[in-house]
Structure formats: C-alpha cells, structure tokens
Homo-oligomer: A and B are copies of this chain.
Amino acid sequence: MPEQAAGMSHRPAPVHTHPDDVPLLTALSALADPVRIQLIRDLARHPDWALSCSGFDVPVGRAAKSHHFSVLRDAGLVEQRDQGPKRLNRLRREEFDARFPGLLDLVLRADDGE
C-alpha cells in the first residue's frame, strides 16, 4: 500500500516537451543519430507503453540509452510513464506529425537502404 506522506521521496517524473514547442533544428538533430533512429523504429513496431527503456536492443550501455531517451523527450518524440521500477515509452506519432508533417514517416519508412 503506497504511502503518500509529506516528506516522501518520489521519483521525479520525466520532463516532457510538446512537439509544438520543439524547434525544427532540435527535431532534426534528435533524428540525426543512428541509435535514436533505431529506438524510434523499435518503438513504432510495438504498441504504446509496451516497451520499457531496457527493452530496446541497441548496442550501447544503460547510461547512453538513458541519455538518448532524454534527447527524444526534449524533441517531443517520446512520452514516458513510470510504472513500478520501469519507465514505459510511447511514440508521439500524431502530435509529432502535426508539428512536422511527414518527418516521422520518413524515419519509419524502411526504404533507408542506403
């Protein structure tokens, strides 16, 4: 039974930026990284809130992964929700597409042959 007393120490909720408040340069910079592209594609292949941060198979350590998710949050690409010890993720498809039409589609399209 979760106590909600005064001096209780919470885990700080993740700070989000709405896509509408994201500068174009921030969005492009966030997407100009192979690891983050892979994270976004993995995310798109699963239902919302299905994946926790550790559920992604990228060739970097936990620290770097955490950093990448921070960048994705700042770019309005990912929303996170805490559930137990895990931090579940959701791709902000509609919202991001409304701000930058077509951009997310480009990344998700697999025609990135070269």
- Write out the residue numbers on chain B whose beta carbons fall within 8 Å of the beta carbon of A37: 24-25
The interface residues of chain B lying within 8 Å CB-to-CB of A21 are 114
Q: How many residues of A contact B (CB 8 A)?
A: 20
Q: CA A76 – CA B107 in complex, angstroms?
A: 18
Copies in the complex: 2
How would residues 5 to 26 of chain A score, 1 for a CB under 8 Å from any chain B CB and 0 otherwise?
0000000000000000111110
User: Of residues 78 to 114 in A, which have CB atoms within 8 Å of B's CB atoms?
Assistant: 100-103, 105-107, 112, 114
Which of B25, B101, B105 contacts A34, CB < 8 Å? B25
Which residues of A are at the interface with B, using a C-beta cutoff of 8 A?
Answer: 21-25, 28-29, 31-32, 34, 37, 100-103, 105-107, 112, 114
Instruction: Give CA–CA (A113, B34) in the complex, Å.
Output: 27
How far, in angstroms, from A103 to B106 measured CA to CA in the complex? 8
Other than the known A24-B107, A25-B32, A31-B32, what 16 A-B pairs have Cβ atoms closer than 8 Å? A21-B114, A23-B112, A23-B114, A24-B106, A24-B112, A25-B34, A25-B112, A28-B31, A28-B32, A100-B106, A101-B102, A101-B105, A102-B103, A102-B105, A103-B103, A103-B106
